[in-house]
Amino acid sequence: MERKWWKEAIVYQIYPRSFKDSNGDGIGDLNGIRQKLSYLKLLGIDVIWLSPVYQSPNDDNGYDISDYKKVMDEFGTMNDFDDLLKEAHENGIRIIMDLVVNHTSDEHPWFLESRSSRENPYRDYYIWREGKGENEPPNNWGSCFGGSAWEKDEKTGMYYLHLFSPKQPDLNWENEAVRNEVFEMMDWWCRKGIDGFRMDVISMISKTPSLPDGEVKEGLYGDFSPYAVHGPKVHTYLKEMNKKVLSNYDLMTVGETAGVTVEEARKYAGSGEQELNMVFHFEHVEGDGELRKWTDKKPDLLRLKRVLSRWQEELGDDAWNSLYWDNHDQPRAVSRFGDDSSRYREVSAKMLATCLHMMRGTPYIYQGEELGMTNYPFTELSQFRDIESLNAYKELIGKGLVSHETMMRYLRCKSRDHARTPMQWDDSPEAGFTNAVPWISVNPNYIEINAEKELADENSVFHYYRKLIKLRKNYEIIVYGNYELIMKEDTRVFAYVRSLGDERLLVVCNFSDEETAVSLPEEFFREDATCLIHNYNDSLQQRQSRLLPYEAAAYYLHK
Ligand code: TEU
Ligand code: CA
Can you give the CATH number for the domain in which 543 is found?
Answer: 2.60.40.1180
pLDDT in tens, 270-307: 999 999 999 999 999 998 888 989 999 999 999 999 99
**Over residues 406-430, mean pLDDT:** 98
Judged against a pLDDT cut of 70, whether residue 485 lies above it is answered with: yes
Identify the pLDDT of residue 317.
84
408 touches ligand 1 (CB under 6 Å): no
Q: Tell me whether residue 200 is one of the annotated catalytic residues.
A: yes
CB 220 within 8 A of CB 399: yes
Which range among 97-111, 218-232, 422-436 shows the weakest confidence by mean pLDDT? 218-232
**Which three-class secondary structure state does DSSP give residue 345?**
helix
pLDDT band for position 538 (cuts 50, 70, 90)? low
58, 133: one domain? no
**Over residues 338-345, mean pLDDT:** 98
Question: Where is pLDDT greater, at 251 or 399?
Answer: 251
Tell me what the pLDDT averaged over the chain comes to.
96
**Residue 387 Cα: closest atom of ligand 1:** 19
Identify the pLDDT of residue 539.
57
Per-residue 3-state assignment (H helix, E strand, C coil) for 220-255: CCECCHHHHCCCCCHHHHHHHHHHHCHHHCCCEEEE
300, 344: one domain? yes
pLDDT in tens, 171-180: 999 999 999 9
Judged against a pLDDT cut of 80, whether residue 219 lies above it is answered with: no
pLDDT in tens, 138-161: 999 999 999 999 999 999 999 999
For helices 404-414 and 387-398, the axis angle rounded to 10 degrees is: 160
387 touches ligand 1 (CB under 6 Å): no
Q: Show contacts of 338-343: CB within 8 Å, 24+ apart.
A: 338/511, 338/550, 339/513, 339/550, 340/374, 340/375, 342/448
535, 440: one domain? no
Of 457, 209, 507, give the one whose Cα is nearest residue 354.
Answer: 507
Give the chain's domain count: 4
350, part of any domain: yes
**Over residues 398-419, mean pLDDT:** 96
Identify the pLDDT of residue 214.
98
Judged against a pLDDT cut of 60, whether residue 183 lies above it is answered with: yes
212, part of any domain: no
Judged against a pLDDT cut of 80, whether residue 13 lies above it is answered with: yes
Q: Tell me whether residue 457 is one of the annotated catalytic residues.
A: no
CB 374 within 8 A of CB 334: yes
Of 8, 25, 76, 39, give the one whose Cα is nearest residue 368.
Answer: 39
Judged against a pLDDT cut of 70, whether residue 403 lies above it is answered with: yes
294, 432: one domain? yes
323, 396: one domain? no
CA dihedral 110, 116, 119, 122 (to 10 degrees): 0
> What separation in Å is there between the alpha carbon of 164 and the centre of ligand 1?
8
pLDDT band for position 217 (cuts 50, 70, 90)? confident
Q: Considering 200, 275, 340, 395, which one is annotated as catalytic?
A: 200
Q: How far apart are the first and last CA of the chain?
A: 21
101 touches ligand 1 (CB under 6 Å): no
544, part of any domain: yes
CB 79 within 8 A of CB 85: no
> Among 54, 106, 164, which is best to mutate for testing ligand 1, by the most ligand atoms less than 8 A from CB?
164
369, part of any domain: yes
472, part of any domain: no
Identify the pLDDT of residue 87.
98
302, 188: one domain? yes
Identify the pLDDT of residue 541.
61
> Among 200, 230, 254, 387, which is best to mutate for testing ligand 1, by the most ligand atoms less than 8 A from CB?
200
15, 146: one domain? no
Length of the chain: 559
Residue partners of 501: CB distance under 8 A and separation at least 6? none
Identify the pLDDT of residue 552.
96
228, part of any domain: no
pLDDT in tens, 437-471: 999 999 999 999 999 999 999 999 999 999 999 99
Judged against a pLDDT cut of 90, whether residue 537 lies above it is answered with: no
Distance CA 200, CA 100 (A): 5
Judged against a pLDDT cut of 70, whether residue 230 lies above it is answered with: yes
400, 517: one domain? no
Neighbours of ion ligand 2 (CB under 5 A): 21, 23, 25, 27, 29
Q: What pTM was computed for the model?
A: 0.98
553, part of any domain: yes
544, 432: one domain? no
Residue 197's CB is within 10 A of a number of other CB atoms, namely 26
H or E element that contains 305? helix 301-314
183, 255: one domain? yes
54, part of any domain: yes
190, 308: one domain? yes
Structural domain for 430, as ranges: 9-102+176-207+233-376+418-463
Distance CA 178, CA 171 (A): 7
pLDDT > 90: percent of the chain: 95
429, 492: one domain? no
